[in-house]
Structure 1
Amino acid sequence: MQLRDRVFLLLGGTGGIGQALVEPLVQAGARLIIASRTIDEKPRVIAREETPGTIMTVRLDLSADDLDHQLVGLSERFPVIDGVIHCAGSNHFASISQAPVRAIDEQIAVNLRSAIIVARHFAPRFSQRGTGALVFVGSTFGSIGFPGYTAYCATKFGLRGFSEALRRELADTGVEVMYVAPRATATAMNPEAVNAMNKALGNVMDAPEAVAGQILKAMKKGQKRRFLGWPEKLFVVLNSLLPRLVDKAMLKQLPVIRRFLDSGATQ
């Protein structure tokens, strides 16, 4: 995938993995339009001898009912957009009986609905142009259901399926569709209960910068799908072929998971 001189719309670029992607994308020669519902619309310049570039910031509410209309206005303002990186996300660590409806709605809207609407808007434009890129950042939990993340897993499973179907639908066009699935990542989105649980379970949490580096590597290689982390990549395959083995492993972990799930220290 070409990065130099490509104009990417970066969704979720103000925190976690998205924020970690900004610097390496600019260093690779890309121009960025960073969208968030909480930022000021002020352009800034990253000056590098080898890669000077401009970063524009715009407001975009991915959970809004009128997201499609917001995207029309954005395209009219920035018709040069020829790539989208969707790494916005929302999660909520709680048992299903304790999950607030608003948190469920937010996860569906941000993690899944917005990705579909964004693709619906840009895919025909990119197809007509003969080139374009749609990059979706999912999760290992898009392949492995995990206790306490039932709604989150549902949205990420949906995102993985959507990106796969979309890639096949656009296979005869010039549009590249990529899905990248990080494992647990140390971002502010995780409440302390989750950090403590991962430590107790021995789960490795990657730094956002490390994940961003892997995403950039996958983009440069033009990989259609990439799962990050070991042994998580193995578990993804096992869960697909022999889910009962993963069921048993999760059952053994469940007492530890419940200790943090029911601690009251949820997000």
Structure 2
Amino acid sequence: MRLHDRVFLLLGGTGGIGKALVDPLVLAGARVIVASRHPERTDHREGVSAVHLDLAAIDLDQQLVRLSEAYPDIDGMIHCAGQNRFAGLASMTVSELDAQYSVNLRSAMLVARHFVPRFEKAGGGALVFVGSTFGSIGFPGYTAYCAAKFGLRGFTEALRRELADTALQVVYVAPRATATEMNAEAVNELNRALGNRVDTPQAVASEILKAMENDERRRFIGWPEKLFVVINGILPRIVDKAMLKQLPVIRRFLNAGKSS
């Protein structure tokens, strides 16, 4: 995938992985339009523009029309916005469940729905989606997040196959645990207790760019997480047993997060 002279719409570009993508994209010669609910948090500099976009809004499709009218030269989209909450299902409110679906899955589908016909008419374009290892492995305390990310992985796979006879590129990248402000302290403590490796946003951003530059269809980040994804798809009972052993530790931090 060509990055030089490309105009990317970056969703979720004011924090975590998205923010770490901005500089490398600009250095590669791309122009970046950072869309978020808080455009004032974007550093204003050459090659970077900031626009307001609410991915959870009911009228997201209309917002996208106005954005495209303002920036008709967009020829790439990177969706790395996301929400999560480490909590038992019974502890989550309906609004929290809706937010998980709206931001993590619905917005990705609406953004793709908006840009696919525009990119097809232009003769090419790129759609990049940042998922999660939890889009392939269900993890206790992340039922809603896993459901949305499983959906995102399935959506991108189906979309890629739907567009296989076009010039459009669909890329799915699945990071493992990443050190972002989205994680509550209970999650950080859980990762330490379980010995989970945690990547920096910069490391994940580098992997995303590699997947884009190499025209990869999908990339799973981290070892042994990539192996667990394969095992979970073939022999899920092995992963069931491994997580059953971890469950007392997970519950300890899950309850800590509930009480805080």
Q: Which residue does the alignment assign to 1:5?
A: 5
How far 1:100 sits from its partner (Å)?
Answer: 1.8
Higher helix content, 1 or 2: 2
CA RMSD of aligned residues (A): 1.3
Q: How many residues align?
A: 260
How far 1:265 sits from its partner (Å)?
Answer: 5.4
How far 1:45 sits from its partner (Å)?
Answer: 2.4
Q: Is 1:67 paired with 2:60?
A: yes
- 2:192 alignment partner, SS class: helix
- Percent of counterpart pairs with the same letter? 68
- 2:129 alignment partner, SS class: strand
How far 1:44 sits from its partner (Å)?
Answer: 2.8
How far 1:263 sits from its partner (Å)?
Answer: 1.0
1:160 to 153, 158, 182: 153
Paired with 1:235 and 1:76, the residues of 2 have a C-alpha distance of 44
Q: Which residue does the alignment assign to 1:201?
A: 194
Q: Is 1:121 paired with 2:107?
A: no
1:91-106 correspondence to structure 2 within 5 Å: 91-106=84-99
Mark the CA change 1:43 to 1:81 in structure 2 (over 3 Å): closer, same or farther: farther
Paired with 2:5 and 2:256, the residues of 1 have a C-alpha distance of 49
Letter in 2 for 1:139: S
Q: Which residue does the alignment assign to 1:86?
A: 79
Q: Which residue does the alignment assign to 1:33?
A: 33
Letter in 2 for 1:116: M
How far 1:129 sits from its partner (Å)?
Answer: 1.0
1:227 to 215, 220, 233: 220
2:257 to 241, 251, 264: 264
What TM-score comes out, normalization by structure 1 length?
A: 0.95
Q: Which residue does the alignment assign to 1:51?
A: none
Letter in 2 for 1:177: V
Give deviations 1:124-164, integer Å, cap 9, x for gaps.
11011111000000000000000000000000000000000
- 2:73 alignment partner, SS class: coil
1:163-202 correspondence to structure 2 within 5 Å: 163-202=156-195
Paired with 1:7 and 1:266, the residues of 2 have a C-alpha distance of 45
Letter in 2 for 1:241: I
**Equivalent residues of 1:135, 1:178 under 8 A apart:** yes
Give deviations 1:142-189, integer Å, cap 9, x for gaps.
000000000000000000000000000011111000000000000000
Give every structure 1 segment of 4 or more consecutive aligned residues whose post-TM-superposition deviation is greater than 2 Å.
Answer: 40-46, 264-267
Give deviations 1:90-144, integer Å, cap 9, x for gaps.
0011001111221111110000000000000000110111110000000000000
What TM-score comes out, normalization by structure 2 length?
A: 0.98
Q: Which residue does the alignment assign to 1:44?
A: 44
**Equivalent residues of 2:125, 2:168 under 8 A apart:** yes
- 2:45 alignment partner, SS class: strand
Structure 1 residue runs without a partner (length 5+): 47-53
Q: Which residue does the alignment assign to 1:134?
A: 127
**Equivalent residues of 2:14, 2:41 under 8 A apart:** no
How far 1:264 sits from its partner (Å)?
Answer: 3.4
Letter in 2 for 1:27: L
